[in-house]
Chains A and B, each alone.
Chain A
Amino acid sequence: MTRTRRPVVAGWFTDDSEEENFRLLGTRCAACASVFFPREDSWCRNPGCPGGGELVETPLSRRGRVWSFTDGRYRPPAPYVSDPNAPWEPYTLVAVELEAEAMVVLGQAAPGVRTADLAIGMEVEVVPGVLNEDDAHIWTTWHWRPAPVHARVREERS
């Protein structure tokens, strides 16, 4: 049986795009420019908003800087999905400051990224990842990983 790739939450990131086009998806209020992630599709939550603005889907910045980070040395409870019979593999969590959106977004780090690989203020980029798999689905998510130096240089030159 072939398994279907499905985002763990619909509409939070570009589905099945190439790594270089992968983005988190938020919404932006057309009246006050506030950005929301996870996306807010019902109403703008800025109490100072003049109102009447549409909430328009907007891709978030691909790169940001580490606000803080940690890891999970113990298996989290459900609804986190993990195999209770397999030894627990700690994952790393990264909170990332996005400059253009002026917000912090939490996410798991890409597999293999340990807390020792991270520092506050370090540049990271968002990449597509897999959260878990079951018989029918490969559940996709977003991961943060240290931005490669050559990408940073290219960015600075452009």
Chain B
Amino acid sequence: MNDIAVLGAGMHPWGKWGRSFVEYGTAAARAALADAGLSWRDVGSVVGADTVRCGYPGYVAGATFAQALGWQGARVTSVYAACASGAQAVGAARAQILAGLADVVLVVGADSAPKGFFAPAGGERPDDPDWLRFRVLGATNPAYFALYARRRMALHGDTVDDFAQVKVKNAAAGALNPLARYRTAVSAEEVAASAVVADPLRLLDICATSDGGAALVLSSMEFARRHGHPDPVRIRAVSTVTPTYPKAVLDLPDIATDSAVAASPAPHGFRASIARAAYEEAGLGPEDLSLAEVYDLSTALELEWYEDIGLCGAGEGAKLVREGVTALGGRVPVNTSGGLASFGEAVPAQAIAQLCELTWQLRGTAGSRQVPGARAGITANQGLFGHGSAVVAVR
């Protein structure tokens, strides 16, 4: 079994604090180390999830956090995969632990995000697809989310009220999470009254940009046993798959899909393949899940994830939210943390924060948002340029 142990989880509260990402990451790291009962000097390797900075520190996040915590000679790695950066950092940490290169690895991701839309790095770069979609089309991230939402309405009969119910559900969970940025309930009427950003999605359908940080202390199962953690939360799978050709669904930041003239698309789309790879590696399936944390970049996108992680069939996502299946108290609560709807986006921290929530839920220490008897959970997200990421954790 390729399990590794989660010994510690920690976050800096999310918000719009206006300070350096180093501060958030370091605070999260110290919280995770304290949670694990270990000192920074016990860490044999540090993996940083990178954030884009016009200047080096964000691009070399591993060493930046190591310097802030005090150089102590650990192995160091820095990882960039946009929204999947945190999961890829966990993947790198896991590989080092399983290879016997390190017993204890600290994984850290943090960001201080700009206000408003995410934009590509500056300069004149017509060979960069991300630069091109802004220059040629003005196609922001919400524009892509809206394209998916509109298509769901036409194909499956989803309504804007179904989308609003996702926000209502996630805001209710976020209100119970002291680390979330937004901690108030939201009504469907408030969603409907917010401004349209990209038809049919409104401001409250789309996650905000935020500051925040998250960290994990991971170790080999043997180290965990030797150090007083006989039954830790275990990471059983880390999926990092790419799409398969031809990718037939328009994804960020592409202007067109692959052509399916020469080859047929796989029966399952890219997002579904991310979760399938994790299930296969973990040796369990959606029927075993107690909860899930998925990327609700938009409310409508969360419904798509229900289908992609196998909670229901294609087109049935809205039915799950209508019936309360994915709410706290439902059969498979999704985004018990409050999701990005309550946290906002701090890109390199997000996938790590998802795992922090699974850790607390699987330990039974999630307080008023606890899923009773949680035994298994999955996280899922997708990074720019075809970075897949899903993590399965069990207890």
Interfacial residues, chain B to chain A (CB-CB below 8 A): 116-117, 119-120, 122, 124, 126, 129, 131-140, 143, 146-151, 154-155, 195-201, 245-246, 248, 250, 254-263
| Cα–Cα, bound, A45→B261 (Å) | 13
Known contacts A9-B126, A45-B245, A78-B119, A102 near B259 by CB under 8 Å: yes
**Can you report 24 residue pairs joining A to B where beta carbons are below 8 Å apart?**
A8-B135, A35-B261, A37-B259, A45-B258, A48-B263, A67-B147, A67-B250, A70-B149, A70-B199, A71-B199, A74-B140, A76-B117, A76-B119, A77-B117, A80-B137, A95-B147, A102-B260, A102-B261, A104-B250, A104-B257, A106-B250, A107-B137, A120-B151, A120-B154
Interfacial residues, chain A to chain B (CB-CB below 8 A): 8-9, 29, 32-38, 45-49, 67-74, 76-82, 91, 93, 95, 101-108, 115, 119-121, 131, 141
Task: Say whether A70 contacts B259, CB under 8 Å.
Answer: no
| Cα–Cα, bound, A101→B199 (Å) | 28
Query: Cβ of A104: which chain B residues have Cβ within 8 Å of it?
Result: 248, 250, 256-257
| Cα–Cα, bound, A82→B340 (Å) | 30
Known contacts A76-B134, A76-B140, A79-B120, A48 near B199 by CB under 8 Å: no
Task: Say whether A46 contacts B263, CB under 8 Å.
Answer: yes
Which among A29, A77, A105 has the highest number of chain B CB atoms within 10 Å?
A77
| Cα–Cα, bound, A102→B120 (Å) | 29
The answer, among B132, B146, B150, B195, for a CB contact under 8 Å with A38, is: B132
Known contacts A76-B134, A106-B139, A38 near B245 by CB under 8 Å: no
| Cα–Cα, bound, A134→B260 (Å) | 39
Task: Say whether B116 contacts A73, CB under 8 Å.
Answer: no
Task: Say whether A80 contacts B151, CB under 8 Å.
Answer: no
Query: Cβ of B120: which chain A residues have Cβ within 8 Å of it?
Result: 79
18 further A-B pairs in the complex, CB-CB below 8 A; given A34-B262, A79-B134, A95-B147: A9-B126, A34-B246, A34-B258, A35-B259, A45-B245, A68-B151, A76-B119, A77-B117, A79-B124, A81-B135, A93-B137, A93-B138, A95-B250, A101-B259, A106-B139, A106-B255, A115-B199, A131-B136
Query: Cβ of A119: which chain B residues have Cβ within 8 Å of it?
Result: 154
Task: Say whether A38 contacts B255, CB under 8 Å.
Answer: yes
Cβ-closest chain B residue relative to A93: B143
Minimum distance in angstroms from B386 CB to a CB of chain A: 12
| Cα–Cα, bound, A147→B124 (Å) | 35
Query: Cβ of B258: which chain A residues have Cβ within 8 Å of it?
Result: 34, 45, 103
Task: Say whether B256 contacts A38, CB under 8 Å.
Answer: yes
Minimum distance in angstroms from A28 CB to a CB of chain B: 8
Kindly list the 8 A-B residue pairs having the minimum CB-CB distance in the complex, ordered from nearest. Answer: A70-B146, A77-B119, A102-B260, A76-B138, A120-B154, A35-B259, A80-B138, A79-B135
Task: Say whether A70 contacts B143, CB under 8 Å.
Answer: yes
Known contacts A77-B117, A101-B261, A9 near B136 by CB under 8 Å: yes
| Cα–Cα, bound, A141→B136 (Å) | 8
Task: Say whether B199 contacts A9, CB under 8 Å.
Answer: no
Query: Cβ of A108: which chain B residues have Cβ within 8 Å of it?
Result: 137-138
Minimum distance in angstroms from A40 CB to a CB of chain B: 10
Task: Say whether A93 contacts B147, CB under 8 Å.
Answer: yes
Query: Cβ of A107: which chain B residues have Cβ within 8 Å of it?
Result: 137
Query: Cβ of A82: which chain B residues have Cβ within 8 Å of it?
Result: 138
The answer, among A32, A46, A68, A101, for a CB contact under 8 Å with B150, is: A68
Task: Say whether A72 contacts B256, CB under 8 Å.
Answer: no
| Cα–Cα, bound, A79→B263 (Å) | 35
Query: Cβ of B136: which chain A residues have Cβ within 8 Å of it?
Result: 8-9, 131, 141
Query: Cβ of B254: which chain A residues have Cβ within 8 Å of it?
Result: 106
Cβ-closest chain A residue relative to B117: A77
Cβ-closest chain A residue relative to B254: A106
Task: Say whether A68 contacts B135, CB under 8 Å.
Answer: no
| Cα–Cα, bound, A103→B260 (Å) | 6
